[in-house]
Structure formats: structure tokens, C-alpha cells
Amino acid sequence: MSSNIDHLLTETRRFAPEPAFAADAVGTADLYARAAEDRLGFWGDQARELLHWHTPFTEVLDWSNPPFASWYGDGELNVAYNCLDRHVEAGDGDRVALLWEGENGDERRVTYAELTDEVKRVATVLEGLGIGAGDRVAIYLPMIPEAVASMLAVARIGAIHSVVFGGFSADSLRARIDDAGAKLVITADGGYRKGKVSALKPAVDQALADRNGSGVQESVEHVLVVRRGGNEVEWTEGRDLWWHEAVAAASADHEAQPFPSENPLFILYTSGTTGKPKGILHTSGGYLTQAAFTNRVVHDVHPETDVYWCTADIGWVTGHTYVTYGPLANGATQVLYEGTPDTPHPGRWWEIIQKYGVSIFYTAPTAIRSFMKIGRDVPGGFDLSSLRLLGSVGEPINPEAWMWYRGVIGHDSTPIIDTWWQTETGAIMISALPGVTETKPGSAQVPIPGISIDVVDDAGEPVGEGNGGLLVVTEPWPSMLRGIWGDPERYVETYWEKFAAQGYYFAGDGARLDDDGDVWLLGRVDDVMNVSGHRLSTAEIESALVAHEATAEAAVVGASDETTGQAVAAFVIIKQSYLKAHSPEGLAQTLRQWVGEQIGPIARPRDVYIVEELPKTRSGKIMRRLLRDVAEGREVGDTTTLADTAVMSVISAQVR
């Protein structure tokens, strides 16, 4: 790791903004000056300039009860009105909001007027089903226009959505439904993935089945089902409704009511250091302000002329902020694509960019690295000249991938923005401004205007330029999480306790400042892995593994992987009793499969090593550092604190 850091810090390539780009850029240098002069005044201006407030706010931030923040607390707004109606009222109803491309080649163009009409009808349906302000609605959908419409319809009536990634299993869905106490699930029969219909409705049926005796009171009253895949589905009369029937029959007369700025907007579950995912809670006014602001100044969105495409699924925070809320609040035109990048051919993404004339493209380093592997000939076969800005999110982008991205996709001229943020931060926190900042391959660089960050040591002291430490946010920000659903103590403990004396937010990432004061992100400092830009917890996968009848004990580590950044490596001890009755043949494969079924295919370990022992300290703590050495094929590090120092040579031998 340290040689890797040294390598990164000797990166000397620099790319200044092209004058033509800078001349027309939304984000300008004076934003930094304005924010530095009066930070809260700056955020007050942004909220007023970018959003419509039914009731204007008089106070920007109330931080009298930290870490519980209130932004624009006495203001009132309607999030969906801001993303839809006001654009129609301003005469932009005919502008295309969504350029939808199904994986199977289906196409739909949805204008702002059409999307507004649809969302109003869905809002009417939801109210008819008894959903009101504060109620929770789970959304489990493929990337189709109805996914965006569902989120906005829930927001429109002041309810709270919890989007669950369509790749998660029935068990993961059930856990999220139960934790939030969702009254409604919006799903589809299925969606297209890798060339065929992948069913979704059965997972919902399974998640809601068999509650008798589980001790959990069923909260779900209805399931609203979009027809997309055309696959056969089972139907529970009285509970299930077809979207196309209910929405067509509903009135489009639906006036958006104002809600308080701090009205909850959504819960999004993310992996923490324990086995139980955390329901990260976001609210309305502050979240939408920073979503709209960053999408304007970082993605440089010019709504009248740009075609924007963020490839994230709405199941992740990037899909919330930079598919649904930011671009629609700004009135942008965007591509929405249902499927996988390589179906039916490896150039599908580049074909979509060519077809729609995409000008702003935002994706993850893992995707870029897998395209690098395939080679430049594939993108070389398409006209990518419409692209004028490229963005990256989700994990550190290594300088090689950065250079390839700029050279091969960005025809050696587009700026690249490497954006650091988290589910918890709600919106981009660290990034270059494309018309202002001279960029450096591999560094996320500088906090955006109005955001205060630092890199500190364990005691909270700034490490200063040229040194590494822990990334903190030193002042509250508009789109900050407001808590963990149902668990205020865990919120305080996880993010605010470590630097309570200073009042800093602890991000859980390691970082280093170079001699210019630019930030280089170094990955998580806790037991959270980052696989293809998705957060996974070692504890969650360990508990899935031990839930299998064969497993006595399991330890999971994130091992570095050329394409996915990190990969899941599991070390498993098998029960003697199981081995008496079963052959160990194929067991590693069975366990990989099992984890995929328990959590979802993204959590499936790359490697499962069957071992006889795990390295533990005298107090019984598993030393993951040593297992990582094994999984990455390195010589095993210092073993002196192990209870049994011989155990690592046994494990290494078994793995080999």
C-alpha cells in the first residue's frame, strides 16, 4: 500500500481547463470567494437561487443541538414540484427529461410535461392506498422511467422512499422493508438484464411470505407492480395492483403541497462495520439544494443544451442524487439505461453516447477499468465527439485509468472530475470544478465551495500538507445525513464520537494531502469493503456465511483486485459434524452461491478458502490484516500478537 501511495504522490501530470470550456462553465472561481466570506450566507443564496420555496426560510442552519442539524428549518417546499411542475410552468414542458433505452432496444422519450402528469397520477394512486406524509414506501425496480416517477410521487406527498437495489435478494429486501416498516412496495414483474428478463416480483412475494411465527408484524399493505418484463407473475388478490391499471384510472389533478424543509425524503441502506445495514436518512430542502448545486457546478449542466448521463442505478445514492434529484431539479435532459454495459455487445454504452449525443458522462472507475481491459478498439468504433465532460465516482480512480478515460473516451480534451462523497454526505463534497481547477490524475483534489474538510490524525489534529491521516468534514453541510433510521445513538456513535471534542464528522476514509494541499483518497479505514464502487460490510458477509449449515466460523476481507478495486475473499472453517455427513467437494462454490442468494450477487465472494483455523489475537479478535496478506498473495506480516503464531503458516499452506 505505501509504495502505491508514493507512486501516486509522484504524479506530475496536470491539465488546465481549456479556455473555451472555462468561458462557458457554470462553476466559477468567485464561488470559492463568496463561500469563504460567508459560508451560511452562500448556502442561503444557493437554496433561494436553485429552488422554489412555498414558504421562504429565515434561518439557514440551526446547529444548536449537534450533531442533529436543521437546514432552512422554517422554510417549506415540495421536492417533486421543484423537479417537475415548475419547469412546465416556466414553459419547458416539452423539454425531454428522460431518454430511456431499454436493454432489449425499447425506447421512450419522456418530456417534463409527461413526467409531471405521470407523477401526479401516481401520487393520486398512493394517496388512494392510504399513503401519507411520513409513511415509508419501498421501491424495488429496474432502471425504467417508472423508477424515477415512483421516487418523485412518494416525495410529492411527503412520504419517505426506501429504494432497494434490484440486485438484492429477497432476504435483503425483507430486512429493509421490516426496518423501515414500509406500507407499500413498488416493483415490476421483471426487467432486462444480460439479454433476458430477470424477475423481480417473486423476490417481493418471497420477502412478504411466511411471516407467521416470525414475530414480525407485516407492515406492507399493497404491492404496486409495473409491467416491464412481461414474465408470468403470481398474484395476491387484494394486495397486488398493476401500475398501468391503477395509474391510468387515477386523476392527474394533483396539486403539490408544501412540506417543511426537514421533512424526511428518503432512507437508503448502506453497509456499515456491523452486520446490520444502516438506514441513512436524508431530508428535503438541504439535500435538494446541494444536489442541484453540485450537479450544476461540478457536472457543469447547461439544461438547455446538454445531454447528461449518469450510469448509476437508482438503488445507490449516486442514482438518487445524480439521476433523480439533481438533474431534474435543474431541468436537465438525461439518458436512463436499463441494462448492463456489455449487452448485446461490449460497445453498448458508447453506442448510446453516439445515439443520443451525450455531452456529460458520469460513471465509476470499476467500469472504466473493465473497458480498459477490453481495449480501445471497442469505444474507437463509435463517435464520442459529443462528450465534453467526464466524471468519476465511487472509489479512488488510479492515474492510469484516469488517463485512459481522458484519452480514449474524452478524445484527449475533456476535463475529468473525480468526485468524492458518500451515501451519508448526500452529494458531492470533494471535486475539481471543471472550468476552474487544474486537474491531477488520481486526486479528488479540493472541497467544493461551501464545504470544509480536513485530514487529521487520531487525536483530531490536522496533519498538514505532505501527510496522511483521516478525512473529516469540519462544518455541517446542507445535504448531510440527518440520522440513521430508528437509531439516533448509532448515528452519533458512528460518525461523531471519534472527533466529538472538535465536532468533526468522521467519514471512515483515509486520505493524504499533497504539497499543494490537494486530497488523495486512500480507501476505507474500517471493515467496509468497496467492490466495484459498492459498499459491502465484512461482518454482513460473515454472518451470511455462518448462516450456512456447513460453516463453523468465517472471516471476510477485501483483497485488492485489478478490475473491481477490491474483491471479497472469505476464509471459512467447516463444521466437523458436516464433514462427517458430506463430502467437502464443491463446498467453496456452494458457499459463494449461498452468499449471492442471501445478500445479492454483488456480495458473492471472489474466493472462498476452506481453512482449519483463523488467526486470532489473545483477546479473540480476528486479524484481518494477515488474511488480506494471504488473499493478495503477499508474504504474511507481523504475527507476534497472535495467540498461536504458527497458525498463519498452516493457513497459507492450505490456501496454496
Stretch that binds ligand WTA, among 75-83, 419-427, 550-558, 608-616 (CB under 6 A): 419-427
DSSP state of 616: B
> Greatest CA span in the chain, whole angstroms?
74
**Which long-range contacts (C-beta less than 8 Å, at least 24 apart) are formed by 231-235?**
231/189, 231/190, 231/197, 231/199, 233/189, 233/199, 233/201, 233/202, 234/201, 234/202, 234/205
Chain mean position to CA 503: 26
* Per-residue CA distances from 535 to 13, 139, 457, 538, 616 (Å): 30, 20, 24, 10, 25
Closest CB 450 distance from ligand WTA, rounded Å: 18
List beta partners, residue 280. Answer: 268, 484
User: Any residues with CB less than 8 A from the CB of 250 and at least 6 apart, and which?
Assistant: 121, 122, 124, 125, 128
Stretch that binds ligand WTA, among 205-213, 334-342, 413-421, 552-560 (CB under 6 A): 413-421
Instruction: For residue 532, say whether it is annotated as part of any ligand binding site.
Output: yes
- Position 150 contacts ligand WTA (CB under 6 A): no
In contact, 203 and 140? CB cutoff 8 Å: yes
- Position 420 contacts ligand WTA (CB under 6 A): yes
d(CA 435, CA 350): 25
- Residue 393 parent element (H or E): strand 389-393
Q: Which is nearer to ligand WTA, 259 or 506 (CB)?
A: 506
In contact, 104 and 142? CB cutoff 8 Å: no
- Position 527 contacts ligand WTA (CB under 6 A): no
* Per-residue CA distances from 438 to 29, 223, 232, 241, 434 (Å): 12, 50, 54, 53, 8
Closest CB 425 distance from ligand WTA, rounded Å: 8
Q: Which is nearer to ligand WTA, 85 or 313 (CB)?
A: 313
Stretch that binds ligand WTA, among 78-86, 147-155, 215-223, 389-397 (CB under 6 A): 389-397
Q: What residues between 1 and 60 interact with ligand WTA by CB under 6 A?
A: none
DSSP state of 92: I
Q: What residues between 536 and 555 interact with ligand WTA by CB under 6 A?
A: none
Residue position matching grid coordinates 449542466 = 301
Closest CB 540 distance from ligand WTA, rounded Å: 14
Percentage helix, strand, coil for the chain under 3-state DSSP, each rounded to 5: 35, 25, 40
User: What are the grid coordinates assigned to 267, written together?
Assistant: 432512507
List beta partners, residue 278. Answer: 270
Query: 514 exposed, middle or buried (CB, 10 Å; 0-12, 13-18, 19+)?
Result: middle
Among 338, 454, 509, 629, binds ligand WTA (CB under 6 A): 509
Closest CB 360 distance from ligand WTA, rounded Å: 17
- Count of positions on this chain that bind ligand WTA (CB under 6 A): 22
Q: Which is nearer to ligand WTA, 136 or 535 (CB)?
A: 535
DSSP state of 407: I
Q: What residues between 255 and 294 interact with ligand WTA by CB under 6 A?
A: 270
- Position 423 contacts ligand WTA (CB under 6 A): yes
HEC readout, 397-426? CCHHHHHHHHHHHCCCCCCEEEEECCCCCC
Stretch that binds ligand WTA, among 173-181, 310-318, 403-411, 583-591 (CB under 6 A): 310-318
d(CA 60, CA 163): 29
Closest CB 507 distance from ligand WTA, rounded Å: 6
**Single-letter residue type at 363:** T
Closest CB 532 distance from ligand WTA, rounded Å: 11
- Position 167 contacts ligand WTA (CB under 6 A): no
User: Any residues with CB less than 8 A from the CB of 236 and at least 6 apart, and which?
Assistant: 205, 223
d(CA 98, CA 118): 13
Stretch that binds ligand WTA, among 198-206, 236-244, 371-379, 416-424 (CB under 6 A): 416-424
C-alpha closest to that of 291 among 82, 445, 437, 443: 82
Q: What residues between 443 and 502 interact with ligand WTA by CB under 6 A?
A: 444
* Per-residue CA distances from 601 to 165, 496, 534 (Å): 11, 33, 12
Instruction: For residue 421, say whether it is annotated as part of any ligand binding site.
Output: yes
- Position 419 contacts ligand WTA (CB under 6 A): yes
Closest CB 104 distance from ligand WTA, rounded Å: 28
Q: What SS3 class is residue 397?
A: coil
Among 313, 395, 540, 629, binds ligand WTA (CB under 6 A): 395
- Position 317 contacts ligand WTA (CB under 6 A): yes
C-alpha closest to that of 429 among 519, 491, 329, 564: 519
List beta partners, residue 184. Answer: 137, 222
Instruction: For residue 509, say whether it is annotated as part of any ligand binding site.
Output: yes
- Position 521 contacts ligand WTA (CB under 6 A): yes
Stretch that binds ligand WTA, among 46-54, 177-185, 392-400, 450-458 (CB under 6 A): 392-400
- Position 421 contacts ligand WTA (CB under 6 A): yes
Closest CB 280 distance from ligand WTA, rounded Å: 8
Q: How many CB atoms lie within 10 A of CB 567?
A: 20
Q: Which is nearer to ligand WTA, 463 or 525 (CB)?
A: 525
Closest CB 394 distance from ligand WTA, rounded Å: 5
Closest CB 511 distance from ligand WTA, rounded Å: 9
Q: Which is nearer to ligand WTA, 225 or 456 (CB)?
A: 456
Among 524, 592, 624, 628, binds ligand WTA (CB under 6 A): 524
- List the binding residues: 193-196, 318, 394-396, 418-423, 509, 524, 532, 535, 546, 548
Q: Which residues are annotated as a binding site for CoA?
A: 193-196, 318, 532
List binding-site positions for ATP: 394-396, 418-423, 509, 524, 535
Q: Using CB under 6 A, list all residues that contact ligand WTA.
A: 270, 316-318, 393-396, 418-423, 444, 507-509, 521, 524, 530, 535
Annotated binding site for Mg(2+): 546, 548
